[in-house]
Structure 1
Amino acid sequence: MIHNIIKDKPTRLFIILGGFFIANALIAEIIGVKLFSLEQTVGITPANFTLLGESGLGFTLTVGVLPWPVVFIMTDIINEYYGVKGVRFLSIITACLIAFAFLVFYLAIHTHPDDFWKGSQAKNGVPDMQAAYTQILGQGMNIIVASLTAFLIGQLTDALVFKKIKLITGEKSIWMRATVSTLFSQLVDTVVVSYMYLYFSLHFSFARVTAIAITGYSYKFIVAILCTPLIYLVHIFIEKYLGKDTAAKMKEAALKSS
């Protein structure tokens, strides 16, 4: 039976798409505790603007945004061929796996460190490996509730908006349903995770959190538009892989699913 499952092209495609979806979401959660300066990264002077009375602000982003373009594309492609149920199924599995990962991190942090390992990287500027390990992986514990809440709400918003637009446009305007659904979902995701994590958990100032949310959403807005050609390319590849008849039947069934 397993051979039949693996040989079935729609099933194999779902596994591949789901694998990339889950892997990138999990990676984004793990690395997302770092904030970086977009201006300095690309080699330009920080913007240094003032917002809501707080000065010295710039285009600050979480590195968790780096793998998210893949999640954007996977979400829309899965929605196109497997419907809202497919996106919901993978989103719930992903949330459970993220929670499991953080549970493992928690257990790993609380094991007693080997004395040699603890000071083994002092010459590289890390005098206490246990403290560094705890700070990087343990800091993610504070974000888990915010990120999982934002992730689930954002993904379900994306799926529902995508379906509503497709019901109106039919097979036309792939760019519209892909881009608009992403812009809606990422607005929700950015606002929820920014204020729940940075404001309520880390106690950043309201102005700084607002600046980070605005710049983060602006980045996602631009990326969503730039990813549009990639979505068309993935569609072409899938149509060739599945065959036009199978692809058409899958899209019709996906649209009819609740």
Structure 2
Amino acid sequence: MILYLNGAFVGLLILANIVAVKLFSIGSFVILPAAVIIYVFTYPLIDVIVEVYGRKYAQRTVRAGLITQIFALVFISAAIALPSAPAFSDQESFETILGGSFRVIIASLISYMVSQNLDVLVFNKLKSRHGQKKLWLRNNASTMLSQLVDTSIFIVIAFYGIVPMAGLAVMIMTQYIFKFFASIAITPLVYLMVNYIKKKELASAHEERSVAVE
């Protein structure tokens, strides 16, 4: 199951990076990048990995995500740089959708590494304290804190000097409020995934013992 979780985590990261250029609005004042509706699911996945498999597996998954994002950026940059065929008239749109400024890319990678590792650290600390109890607490506490750090780091690095300080504060607040409530809403999914994976792993371990006895 860990391979499926790793694949889902990395896939969501890449997908979030692709759709990040699209902005959507909630009401008249809240404007968010489409990436947030995907990226919020990466934290529960990491929490599930820590809960079932432990801190080291989660840290490996975070590193794999970073490496994959870097490779994706390299290959996307190479694809943009390739000379367009005469029949391809959408080069400008292609660059707009898939290309990103160097500053935004750096902001994304730094915020990712800091926040995801923080999520692993906080979740693991709370698990060490509470054992199998209070999954809802460590899931929400670790995710909410790391999401705040992620949002703050990304917006400050990406937009400092471009957007006034008051504007940066509004951007951080609006994005974090969305992520805060999304974290609460996703909590039942974390319980379902943890229970399902533990049952599958238990069944797999029992099957392996049966084969070994035979």
Q: Tell me if both proteins adopt one fold, taking TM over 0.5 as the criterion.
A: yes
* 1:81-96 correspondence to structure 2 within 5 Å: 81-96=52-67
Instruction: Confirm whether residue 159 of structure 1 aligns to residue 117 of structure 2.
Output: no
Instruction: Confirm whether residue 207 of structure 1 aligns to residue 169 of structure 2.
Output: no
Counterparts of 1:217 and 1:85, CA distance in 2 = 28
Counterparts of 2:181 and 2:138, CA distance in 1 = 16
- Which stretches in structure 2 are left out of the alignment for 5+ residues? 207-214
What amino acid sits opposite 1:21 in the alignment?
Answer: F
Partner of 2:31: 60
Q: Give the CA deviation at 1:69.
A: 3.2
Tell me if structure 1 keeps the 8 A contact 2:16–2:39.
yes
For residues 225 and 212 of structure 1, do their structure 2 counterparts lie closer, same or farther at Cα, with a shift above 3 Å needed?
same
Counterparts of 2:78 and 2:25, CA distance in 1 = 32
Partner of 2:193: 234
Instruction: Confirm whether residue 188 of structure 1 aligns to residue 159 of structure 2.
Output: no
Instruction: Confirm whether residue 145 of structure 1 aligns to residue 106 of structure 2.
Output: yes
Tell me if structure 2 keeps the 8 A contact 1:99–1:144.
no
Tell me if structure 2 keeps the 8 A contact 1:102–1:141.
no
For residues 164 and 246 of structure 1, do their structure 2 counterparts lie closer, same or farther at Cα, with a shift above 3 Å needed?
farther
Name the count of aligned residue pairs. Answer: 206
Tell me if structure 1 keeps the 8 A contact 2:44–2:143.
no
- SS of residue matched to 1:115: coil
**Larger Rg computed on CA atoms:** 1
- SS of residue matched to 1:159: helix
Identity of aligned residues (%): 31
Counterparts of 2:176 and 2:63, CA distance in 1 = 24
Counterparts of 2:199 and 2:128, CA distance in 1 = 24
What amino acid sits opposite 1:177 in the alignment?
Answer: R
Partner of 1:177: 138
Partner of 1:217: 176
Q: Could you say what the CA RMSD is over the residues aligned between the two structures, in angstroms?
A: 1.9
For residues 246 and 179 of structure 1, do their structure 2 counterparts lie closer, same or farther at Cα, with a shift above 3 Å needed?
farther
Counterparts of 1:163 and 1:178, CA distance in 2 = 10
Counterparts of 1:26 and 1:205, CA distance in 2 = 30
- SS of residue matched to 1:66: helix
Counterparts of 1:138 and 1:98, CA distance in 2 = 13
What amino acid sits opposite 1:68 in the alignment?
Answer: Y
The normalised TM-score by structure 1 is: 0.75
What amino acid sits opposite 2:4 in the alignment?
Answer: I
- SS of residue matched to 1:117: coil
Counterparts of 2:67 and 2:6, CA distance in 1 = 14
* 1:122-141 correspondence to structure 2 within 5 Å: 129-139=90-100, 141=102
For residues 115 and 142 of structure 1, do their structure 2 counterparts lie closer, same or farther at Cα, with a shift above 3 Å needed?
farther
Aligned counterpart in structure 2 of residue 101 of structure 1, from 57, 60, 72 = 72
Tell me if structure 1 keeps the 8 A contact 2:52–2:194.
no
Counterparts of 1:205 and 1:36, CA distance in 2 = 21
Counterparts of 1:64 and 1:33, CA distance in 2 = 8
Counterparts of 2:164 and 2:53, CA distance in 1 = 42
Tell me if structure 2 keeps the 8 A contact 1:87–1:155.
no
Instruction: Confirm whether residue 15 of structure 1 aligns to residue 36 of structure 2.
Output: no
Tell me if structure 2 keeps the 8 A contact 1:20–1:70.
no
Counterparts of 1:161 and 1:22, CA distance in 2 = 21
